[in-house]
Amino acid sequence: MSDSTVELTCTVNGQHVQLKLDPRESLLDVLRERLSLTGTKKGCDQGHCGACTALVDGRRVVSCLTPAVQVNRQAVTTIEGVADTDGSLHPLQQAFIDNDALQCGYCTPGQIISGIACIAEGHTDTDDEIREYLSGNICRCGAYPGIVAAVRQTADAARNGA
C-alpha cells in the first residue's frame, strides 16, 4: 500500500460501500480481495478474456483494467447482484441452465454479466449480433452455442413481456 490512499464511495450490488484504498487498485481486486465477491473471476488480468466483466452504472467494464477509483459514486453490479433478493435466479442465469450454456463455469459470471448488458443495449436481433457483442468474453470450453441461445431466449422473453 502506498503512503497515499483515496476514499471510494459507491454502491456494489445495492449495498453502500466506503473504502480507503491505494489509487492503483483495480476494481477486480477490490471486488475479490476487499469485498469477498469472488464470482467476478481473474482470468488473464489484461482485459482480453472478459472473465472479470462487471457493470458500472449499467455499462460493462473489464474490472481488471478499471481503476477502482473510477467507480466513485457509481453503481457496480457483479454476478452476485443479479439474482432477485428472494434468491430466484436472474432470467439469463436460468437460461444458461436451460440451454446448457456452461461447462467448467469459469467464464460464466462474465458471460452472464455481458449478456445482461447485451440485452439491455438491444444487441440481440440476430445470433451474429449477439456473438459480436459478446466477443469480448472468451469461453475456453466452447459453450458458445448455448451461450448465444441463452441470451436469445432471455431477450425474446423480455421482448414478449415474459
- Answer whether residue 161 shows pLDDT above 90: no
- At 29-38, the pLDDT tens digits run 999 999 999 9
Q: pTM for the whole thing?
A: 0.95
- At 70-89, the pLDDT tens digits run 999 999 999 999 999 999 99
Per-residue confidence at 2, pLDDT binned at 50, 70, 90? low
∠ CA 155-160-162, rounded to 5°: 85
Return the biggest CA–CA distance within the chain. 54
- Let me know if 126 is exposed, middle or buried by CB neighbors in 10 A (0-12, 13-18, 19+): exposed
User: Which is nearest to 19 in space by CA: 58, 81, 71?
Assistant: 71
The angle, 0 to 180 degrees and rounded to 10, between the axes of the packed helices 91-98 and 144-159 is 130
* All structural domains of the chain: 6-81 (3.10.20.30), 91-159 (1.10.150.120)
DSSP string for residues in 141-152: T--HHHHHHHHH
Single-letter code of the amino acid located at 53: T
